[in-house]
Amino acid sequence: MALEFTDANFQSNVLDSDKLTVVDFWAEWCGPCRAIGPVIEELAKDYDGKVNIGKVNVDNNPQVSMNYGITSIPAILFIKNGQVVDKQVGAAPKAVLDKKIQANL
């Protein structure tokens, strides 16, 4: 199951992690965000224990969203060792996200 990242836990769960972390910035009212929600959940199962995969609700966590300049959602950041190593803005098929994860493992 995808993790829930918040303004409060982002530093410890994402930036301080030694694993690749995939962060889906989303909102309840965003149609494309809801469309890729199941894909994010599938990836979380596929990479359980190898990659941290989670979501940030932009409405509830404005600080993290501002820190990364998130202006369009869904926006998916791939973060490794505290640095953004790749990103995907807009909904994308599972194969595209899978390829980005593989490239950054």
Q: Which is the catalytic residue, given 14, 33, 79, 91? A: 33
30 is catalytic: yes
42 is catalytic: no
* DSSP-assigned letter for residue 75: E
Residues 23/54, Cβ–Cβ less than 8 Å? yes
Q: Which is the catalytic residue, given 20, 22, 30, 43? A: 30
Token pair for residue 27? 């909102």
Coil, helix or strand at residue 53? strand
Q: Rounded to a whole number, what is the distance in angstroms from the first to the last CA of the chain?
A: 20
Beta bridge partners of 75: 25, 89
Residues with a catalytic annotation lie at: 30, 33
